Amino acid sequence: MRLQAETLVAGRYKLLAKLGSGGMADVWCAEDTMLDRRVALKFLHERFAQDEQFVERFRREASAAAGLQHPNVVGVFDRGTYDGSHYIAMEYVEGASLNDLIERGLSVPEAVEIVRQVLAGARYAHTHGIVHRDLKPQNVLVDGEGRARVTDSCRRSRRRGCPSPPRPTSTRSGCCCTRRSPGGCRSRRSHR
């Protein structure tokens, strides 16, 4: 499927501009024509569309993230399929990734405030049984007012029938952060 500006997705989302592309998805800025607001649409790459387990995980992650409402977590509004491609509609954050801000240079007070906000968002998710598993500067967006929001790859760690959120855990596959503490992934050597 080839997406382009002005395409109307699911009779609702008008694509405006491609924001970026990652290993598993392309992200577009779109206009939600029903609610008159900007959103970010994340489209799963076609090569994953035939993998039923991957698609189901993508859907579950969208549903889990949609349950989170916090000022430091990007909101998820909708998920669906368009022309054979699976998508997630998320809050659009006008600003820059933390990775871009690090490259430009941050003052110590700015960095401390951003980290405080990221930790607040991650803590909120953890108290709701959600573990991010890919928390890195590329997955943190900072708007023009300096508010940081965690985005991308939230994963539910709760098992069905569990009466309360478990203590958040992760698997080795979740240890892919480029910046991590030396003890962050005990099963792998720390690369410095």
Active-site annotation, residues: 134
Decide: 137 and 179 in contact? Cβ < 8 Å. Answer: yes
Decide: 142 and 96 in contact? Cβ < 8 Å. Answer: yes
Contacts of 167 (CB under 8 A, 6+ apart): none
Length of the chain counted residue by residue: 192
Residue 171's Cα: distance from chain center in Å?
Answer: 18
Task: Please compute, for residue 15, the number of CA atoms within 13 A of its CA located in the half-sphere on the CB side.
Answer: 20
Q: Which of 108, 78, 65 has the alpha carbon at shortest distance from 10?
A: 78
Q: Which of 56, 45, 58 has the alpha carbon at shortest distance from 84?
A: 45
Tell how strand 85-91 and strand 76-82 pair up: antiparallel
Decide: 86 and 43 in contact? Cβ < 8 Å. Answer: yes
